[in-house]
Amino acid sequence: MGEISPDFPEYDNQTTEVWDQLAEWWDDKIGDGNDFQNYLIEPSTERLLALQPGEKVLDIACGAGRFTRRMAALGANITAIDHSEKFIKRAKERTTENADRIEYMVLSATDRSALMSLGQAKFDAAVCTMGLMDMSSIEPLISTLPKLLKPGGRFVFSVTHPVFNSGTSRQVAEQHVEDGEIVITQGVTITDYARPFVYMGLGIMGQPIPQHYFHRPISLLFNTCFKHGFVLDSIEEPTLPEELKGKSRMPLSFNNMPTMPPVLVARMVLKQ
């Protein structure tokens, strides 16, 4: 059996068109944060990045720049890129502090030559916050990052968890009687995992159009990084805290499953 590709290049243009339509709505909805960002994604990503003041960071698929601004507030210097012009416009409008530490650019992470124009061995670290599963092609980015990062540079990414929160995962509830009491147990079932595939989904309930998701099993994500000189240095599978149980309007929300990780965060480091 031949090598499995992580890429779906036939969708490269479509994803940009979709995100230009969604960008403003998306930013209006969660630009000021939500439970996933506040409790899961940003704390784990910040821990694994372990930023030092003055470091240069490439923020890939920055969206409206929420995490970009968080890193700049920690003293880092950020080059933030996104393929959606509307997202970059919103990011610039939202940046009222530490603007001297941030450069926003409209640039597709699927375009190797555009990525190379950012400068060789320029960055101490790169970060992609909840972006890889939205990218039709990831090999151009991961194969180019070793040229953009300094020796020993690190790459931290977060994705919807490929096992518990992807195309065929289903939130389920079971009811049974235990010691005379009715007990409801919630969990997740999956029916397709080991192959890469594309599906349309909703990142936020009520969004005007669905977006593309590109499912890649964990082994394919990591092996693509390994192939281009990265090693896995750390990984987190954060879960929502117990105090959020029952606070979602959706009865089968991850808020009610505090032992199920809806996201995966990993730190890759270039081999020296």
- Map out the domains of the chain as residue ranges: 9-166+193-243+260-270
pLDDT above 80 for 145 = yes
Tokens of 242: 């117990």
pLDDT tens digits along 153-163: 999 999 999 99
pLDDT above 60 for 241 = yes
pLDDT band at 267; cut points 50, 70, 90: very high
Q: What is the pLDDT of residue 147?
A: 98
Q: What is the pLDDT of residue 256?
A: 85
Q: How confident is the model over 7-35, as a mean pLDDT?
A: 92
Q: What is the pLDDT of residue 246?
A: 67
Looking at residue 224, its amino acid is: T
In the CATH scheme, what is the code of domain 9-166+193-243+260-270?
A: 3.40.50.150
pLDDT above 90 for 249 = no
Separation CA 29–CA 88 (nearest Å): 16
Could you tell me what percent of the chain has a pLDDT over 70? 98
Q: How confident is the model over 82-99, as a mean pLDDT?
A: 96
pLDDT above 60 for 76 = yes
Q: How confident is the model over 238-264, as a mean pLDDT?
A: 84
Which is nearest to 200 in space by CA: 18, 23, 28? Answer: 18
Query: Are the C-beta atoms of residues 186 and 250 closer than 8 Å to each other?
Result: no
Tokens of 245: 């149980």
Q: What is the pLDDT of residue 98?
A: 96
Looking at residue 238, its amino acid is: P
Q: How confident is the model over 47-74, as a mean pLDDT?
A: 97
pTM above 0.75, yes or no: yes
Separation CA 112–CA 248 (nearest Å): 41
Mean pLDDT (the chain) is 93
Q: Please identify which residue in the block is written with the tokens 């969708």.
A: 11
Could you tell me what percent of the chain has a pLDDT over 90? 79
pLDDT above 70 for 1 = no
CA-based torsion, 87, 88, 93, 98: positive or negative: positive
pLDDT band at 2; cut points 50, 70, 90: low
pLDDT band at 271; cut points 50, 70, 90: confident
Q: How confident is the model over 239-261, as a mean pLDDT?
A: 82
pLDDT tens digits along 169-220: 998 988 888 888 898 888 899 999 999 999 999 988 889 999 999 999 999 9
Q: How confident is the model over 62-88, as a mean pLDDT?
A: 96
Q: What is the pLDDT of residue 272?
A: 75
More confident call, 250 vs 132: 132
